[in-house]
Amino acid sequence: MSTILAKMRQLINQLKAHNHAYYVLDNPTISDNEYDQLRQQLINLEQQNPTFIQADSPINQVGDKPLPFFSQVHHQIPMLSLGNIFNLEDLQNFFRRVNERLSEQYKNPDYEVELKLDGLAVSLIYQHGVLTQAVTRGDGQTGEDITQNVKTIRNLPLVLDDTSIERLEIRGEVLMPKAGFAKLNQQAEQNGEKTFANPRNAAAGSLRQLDPNIAKNRPLAFYAYSVVQGLPNEISTQFDALMWLNHLGFTLSDIKLVNTANELQDYYLSVIDKRPNLPFEIDGIVVKVNDLDLQRQLGFLSREPRWATAYKFPAETVMTRLNAIEWQVGRTGQLTPVGKLEPVNVGGVTVSNVTLHNIGEIERLDIRVGDMVSVHRAGDVIPKVTRVWTDERPNKTEPVTLPNNCPVCNSPVILPDGEALARCTGGLYCPAQQQEALIHFVSRKAMDIDGLGERWLIIFHELGLIHNVADIYDLHKQRDELVKIEKLGEKSVENMLTAIENSKQTTLPKFIYALGIRGVGESTALNLAKQFGDLDNLMRANLDELQKTPDVGEITADAIVEFFKAKHNLAVIERLIKAGITWQKLSNETLGNQPLDGQSWVITGTLTSMGRDEAKAKLQALGAKVSGSVSAKTTTLLAGEKAGSKLAKAESLGINIVNEAEFLVMLNG
């Protein structure tokens, strides 16, 4: 089989399957726009290769056959479809084509414009003013009799004031307003039932219920858009026909008369703006020649009227090719895969990047570089890949794997067990993470460099004066540069450099915490310091040894090992030590049994001789655990001035209570 023919057969089979899902099962497997794109591919192939056109090509068919269990009704006047246009140029061409077919005196006619409602087309027949039949579009020739269900729609007149017309046939759209749809789905979810993908499916599903009591409880509405039989002779325009229907009691969507393409374009753009606030979903506007005689003159081309067209909104789901995947490193070292797309207009905006979230999502989608993908974007929502067209996958593609090394700093990348996001291990060194690492490093519970706040750190980093935390201790060499910075006088620089100098005398737990290893918070840092006694031991520890430390599980142990494996981190640590950072060796007492081992303390009220953090550190250094709330497990409450509810609770539980003076005696003793 030729490749063109093979491609045609593939498209025909896909379209048939989608038609079946859409028309028969009310459960579309792709969006309308994706469907249109597939259909357009087939149309193009058929136009270029007319001899290959397949007898079963769905191009000249409106839809699939209806389900057998509703009775079938032949439409006296077929229910046709509309052509589509997408931009101002298409619109101007449409106007031109209309003009070409009209004689001089009728050129540049008025157009009536309506919203293109996203529901289901239904034809209603009134005999002498009584609704006798409601029929779905079906395949355009034959539809299903859904009269019982349609009669339950509340905004629809069942009997008209005017009973003189023998047979009136009007057409319009049955839809489910967004609010009713949301409520219906919410209820379905609560009852553990299947939810509907969108309001159109919900409306379709409701109309296809054999039991009209179900439809009755669904929030459906009918909007009229044309009269195909029974219109009084004196009415000569689409606009007046709709106004007449309105007087009979039918609901209309927004309607408007325009005369030029520019005027129409303005309206189109204003509707795009209004779209999110409309009570129902629309997918474009419909442009109709207003004069009914001119409509008749223009007639139809195959199954579409020449006098009307659908001016669709930009597609919200579009197919395009994934050209590459780039891994971006976030401020905390997380690696996020970003799909680089063949640029494409989605929902009116050109999209060339799309987040793929994480390696798990890539595996779930089974996405590969070179694949055709569907990209969805609605309103201001971030675009996302909703589908990968694996059928269309080019030869020789490879599954996507996580990079072994950070694309920014080349440090090893790890994916901790049970976590979705991979991370770069070059915490101290990686340029992508530097600002975050710097801010953490100087913070109070870390190196506590008071005079060097977040604001200046970021400025220094952006000026290139510092890159990583070791550079902080070289800042004194750049005193001349520093004093030149706006709003940073000699005095502040002096204070800053003194604070940096003072920070060199620290404690091992604070230093470990300052390194910013993932999962190593203040108390884990303290436990690690106790467990290993000095930095060298910690740096050499293996996974098993690390996991013997209280608080340290597999993930944290892994992060520690990886951190100290990264050469760049080691270089930074070496510079820090060389710069003179020191701490007192932990005493034997600290390493061995400590006086408060096994005790659980709570601090409350105001202490006068020290801050709470300091008191906490002192208690921890003596082996106590310090927690935030009093419970039966609390052994002692340290109560400062103005202690309140915690004191009362401790008293009621009979817990040992110590005041500040007693605490100081205990520390000194």
Residues in touch with ligand IVH (CB under 6 A): 80-82, 114, 116-117, 121, 137, 173, 225-226, 286, 305, 308, 310
C-beta of 123 vs 524, nearer to ligand IVH: 123
Residue 548: half-sphere exposure toward Cβ, Cα within 13 Å: 9
Q: Structure tokens of 72?
A: 């079938």
Torsion sign over Cα 148, 154, 155, 161? positive
How far from each other are the two terminal CA atoms of the chain, in whole angstroms? 95
Minimum distance of ligand IVH from residue 291's CB (angstroms)? 16
Residue with tokens 């890949």: 385
Q: How far apart are CA 230 and CA 369, in angstroms?
A: 58
194 vs 179, 187, 190, 197, CA distance in Å?
Answer: 18, 10, 10, 10
C-beta of 18 vs 423, nearer to ligand IVH: 18
C-beta of 116 vs 510, nearer to ligand IVH: 116
- In sequence order, the 6+-apart residues with CB closer than 8 A to the CB of 67 are 24, 144, 208
CB 240 within 8 A of CB 188: no
Residue with tokens 């204070």: 495
C-beta of 61 vs 547, nearer to ligand IVH: 61
CB 130 within 8 A of CB 158: yes
C-beta of 226 vs 527, nearer to ligand IVH: 226
Rounded (10°) CA dihedral 561, 563, 569, 575: -60
CB neighbourhood size of 141 (10 A): 13
- In sequence order, the 6+-apart residues with CB closer than 8 A to the CB of 299 are 305, 306, 307
C-beta of 121 vs 552, nearer to ligand IVH: 121
C-beta of 82 vs 472, nearer to ligand IVH: 82
For residue 518, give the nearest of 372, 370, 333 by alpha carbon.
333
Minimum distance of ligand IVH from residue 387's CB (angstroms)? 23
Torsion sign over Cα 556, 561, 566, 568? positive
660 backbone dihedrals φ, ψ, rounded to 5°: -65, -40
By beta-carbon distance, which residue lies closest to ligand IVH? 121
Minimum distance of ligand IVH from residue 354's CB (angstroms)? 29
Q: Is 116 in the active site?
A: yes
Residue with tokens 């675009």: 383
Q: Structure tokens of 476?
A: 């004194």
Minimum distance of ligand IVH from residue 204's CB (angstroms)? 11
- The percent helix, strand, coil of the chain (3-state, each to 5) is 40, 20, 35
C-beta of 117 vs 135, nearer to ligand IVH: 117
Q: How many helices (H) and strands (E) does the chain have?
A: 25, 26
Q: How far apart are CA 89 and CA 1, in angstroms?
A: 38
Q: How far apart are CA 578 and CA 657, in angstroms?
A: 45
C-beta of 255 vs 369, nearer to ligand IVH: 255
Minimum distance of ligand IVH from residue 286's CB (angstroms)? 4
C-beta of 212 vs 305, nearer to ligand IVH: 305
Minimum distance of ligand IVH from residue 117's CB (angstroms)? 4
CB 309 within 8 A of CB 85: yes
Minimum distance of ligand IVH from residue 215's CB (angstroms)? 18
Minimum distance of ligand IVH from residue 301's CB (angstroms)? 12
Minimum distance of ligand IVH from residue 308's CB (angstroms)? 5
CB 300 within 8 A of CB 325: no
401 backbone dihedrals φ, ψ, rounded to 5°: -120, 160
C-beta of 169 vs 371, nearer to ligand IVH: 169
Q: Can you tell me whether residue 18 is helix, strand or coil? A: helix
Given the residues 107, 116, 312, 510, select the one marked as catalytic: 116
Minimum distance of ligand IVH from residue 274's CB (angstroms)? 16
CB 78 within 8 A of CB 37: no
Torsion sign over Cα 355, 370, 368, 388? positive
Torsion sign over Cα 320, 324, 327, 330? negative
CB 280 within 8 A of CB 199: yes
Helix axes 199-207 and 178-190, enclosed angle (nearest 10):
80
Minimum distance of ligand IVH from residue 81's CB (angstroms)? 5
Rounded (10°) CA dihedral 624, 630, 631, 635: 40
Q: Residue 246, Cα to own-chain centre: how many angstroms? A: 41
Active site residues: 116
